[in-house]
Chain A
Amino acid sequence: MNDQQWNTLVSVVRGETLSPLPTAFIIDSPWLPNWAGHTILDYFTDDRIFLDDNLKAMRAFPETMFLPGFWSEYGMCTEPSAFGSVCMWGEDEFPFARKVLRSPADVEHLEKPNPRKHGLLPFVIKRLKHLQPEIEMAGHKIRFAVARGPLNIASFLMGTPEFLEAIKTHPEQMHRLLEIVTDFLVEWIAVQREAFPSIDGIFLLDDIVGFVSRRDCEKFAVPYLQRAFAADVTVKFFHNDAPCKASSPLLESTGINLLNFGVQHTLSDMKSWTNNKIALMGNIPPRDVLAEGTPEDVKRSTTEILNALADRSRLIVSCGGGMPPHAPTENIKALISTVEEVTR
């Protein structure tokens, strides 16, 4: 993100209503490499392709913001790799991390990884370090420390159904697991901030928060998100595109001030549930409209969503989730231009 984009983002998070409304998209490996003409594995393994694809997107859509911006990632394998997960790769497939815990009892033997040395994490840092001069020469800075959230990582280590069942059957061990994961996350975020002093935001992604009840969210998500987001940064950005009616009223207490959510809820409902204290980023349907619709569909959906909303403060228009695979250029441009027309 360049300075102007960052300032725009901070203004929205602080409650300003901008005209026209800003647009932004989370972009990463499910969309970017294929859009730019590369395979996912080439994107992960070639620094030049990673840089070129990111810059290509930023130049193709200069009117919008891409978050977190130059996201150095290895899909769902990034953090689990540090815990010893076997990571599986296909030429043009999303990587997959195999679980490392066979039962709740195994948590006792789980060690907190060292984010400076373990798994793919040194590669995440080094990739950005190598490219930092060119990123900055292009007018951008590394703004966010990024990680999967505590429940998301825990579910990869245990298996999602197993983890969600174990919070009922083995709550003590699951708290222990989440403590280990969160201790690690706090350190991982600190390592990123140390490597890139331009970081002034934390971005965590955790859909598993949306799978649990309000009561379980209070017990198993909120305390750990509070710790993970505790660092003194300006933007605390959270992504959960699973249902979030139960969790959204609790998110303010974690420090989160920017939320990307899914298509299950309206912006009005989300504003109400978050007491309009959290800036919202959403929520054009990513698959059915942005990826599979026509530019006219995108225009219609965007207009409907914006016209249904009386209060446009703390709002960034985006899709309900990350940029979906195969979202075409013309649809993204249609979304951006419609927002400009409708909200100017």
Chain B
Amino acid sequence: MSAEALKGHLDLLLLTVVSDGAMHGYAVIEELKGRSDEVFDLPDGTVYPALHRLEKAGYLASEWSVVSGRRRRTYRLTERGRGALGEQRHAWSEFSDAVSRVLRGSPWPTTP
């Protein structure tokens, strides 16, 4: 799936992944790829600005530690982020149900 198609849904995906427990950026990206069976194809680096933005919005909190001699930033979901995640999941559910209902109303076109 192209990056363009993911636009607008990345926040929901990132909050969902981090909601399972604190993790660093690389782990978040690997989890995202793993759960989507590598369907989401976006440059790894573009996830970091999104994580920073979510932190600035108060949805994520981060803390630093040292692992194998390297500084590592770990993100966790905040209470505010949990609320936002609930709202976004609900909105997505409504949206995807509506799209599904529309699609079910028409026969699948034959592949040329």
Please determine whether chains A and B interact with each other in the same assembly: no
The chain B residues found within 8 Å of chain A, CB to CB, are none
